[in-house]
Structure 1
Amino acid sequence: MFTRVQDVAALIGRIGVAVVFLAHGLDKWEMGVGGTTDMMSATGIPLPTLSALFVIAVEVIGSILFIVGLALPLVGLGYAITGLGAVFFVHADAGLTGQGGYELVLVLALAGLALGCNGGRLSLDYLVLGRRKAAGTQDAELQAA
């Protein structure tokens, strides 16, 4: 029973983190690649056009994938890269807490990374890969016996 609670908690966590990233991604989508590139260039982010495309893709497409639980490790890594980039290039001067602080960005980036590494059994990754892996483990155990 406890594993079901863990799986539901992971699903709720994935949805919560993804909704926040998706909201920020849709803002960037509305600005377009040009507007997002200008914003990134103004903050000193290297390769602003490539960075804009990466961030929009991670925050929009990645968030949809994160909610359904597909490619979780890849999206989690994308969240970590995006979030840590925002910490260092946008929020670092404001400090950890207070107006413009990086506490929320840091927590979201690391929560995304953690949930990407273990998104629970209520995910497409588990349904597609987890069951296959479990079947392979059972076959190996049978062959060893």
Structure 2
Amino acid sequence: MPTAEFKENKLVDVTFMGMRSAIGVIFIVHGFGKFGSERFFGMVDSMVGIPDIGPVLGTLVALGEFVGGILLIIGVLSRISAAVISAIMVGAIFVVKGAGSLTGEGAYELDLILLASCLVIMLAGPGRIALAQIVKKLPRYIH
């Protein structure tokens, strides 16, 4: 019979660390590839319909993915990073892909699983194997 001790299980913490790391690596790679990409900036311009907004909005998306991925891996500001990445994924599903097809060419299945994973991190937190948890345990001295 399951008990409330589930969150105390070390396997749960390792699982959360693994999930954060996998998502983080995916977004570091995706975000890094968008920096300075004229093709990506042009695509953003055409989707938004506002001239010359592509480089600004595209850089914000790239920063959100790249920095958010790093923060997820190290376990700092994980819920905020997951929220930013979730917003980017909602945009990817509904704006970029038009919520067209779940599978096949131009599908949003990967975006959906990344969104779901980020929602889990937002709701459950990063787990105990995270830099934020280590910092919380350091002694604090007030003078």
* Residues 103-133 of structure 1: CA deviation (Å, up to 9, x unaligned): 110110221232244110001122234x48x
1:112 paired residue among 90, 115, 118: 118
* Residues 3-31 of structure 1: CA deviation (Å, up to 9, x unaligned): 200000000000111111111111102xx
Give the equivalent residue in structure 1 for 2:133: 126
Pairwise CA RMSD of aligned residues? 2.3
* SS of the residue 1:94 aligns to: coil
Give the equivalent residue in structure 2 for 1:135: none
What is the distance in 2 between the residues matched to 1:106 and 1:122?
25
TM-score, length-scaled by structure 1: 0.77
Worse-matched range after superposition: 110-119 or 66-75: 110-119
Q: What stretches of structure 1 of length at least 5 have no aligned partner?
A: 133-145
1:40 paired residue among 39, 44, 50: 44
Give the equivalent residue in structure 2 for 1:14: 20
Identity %: 28
Give the equivalent residue in structure 1 for 2:101: 95
* SS of the residue 1:43 aligns to: helix
TM-score, length-scaled by structure 2: 0.78
What is the distance in 2 between the residues matched to 1:96 and 1:128?
41
Whether the 8 Å contact between 1:25 and 1:60 is mirrored in structure 2 is yes
**1:45–1:119 CA distance, 2 compared to 1 (3 A):** farther
* Residues 16-72 of structure 1: CA deviation (Å, up to 9, x unaligned): 11111111111102xx06553222112337753442122111111111111000110
**1:116–1:124 CA distance, 2 compared to 1 (3 A):** farther
For 1:110, the aligned partner's letter is A
What is the distance in 1 between the residues matched to 2:41 and 2:130?
33
Q: What stretches of structure 2 of length at least 5 have no aligned partner?
A: 139-143
Whether the 8 Å contact between 1:79 and 1:113 is mirrored in structure 2 is no
In the comparison of the two structures, how many residue pairs are matched? 129
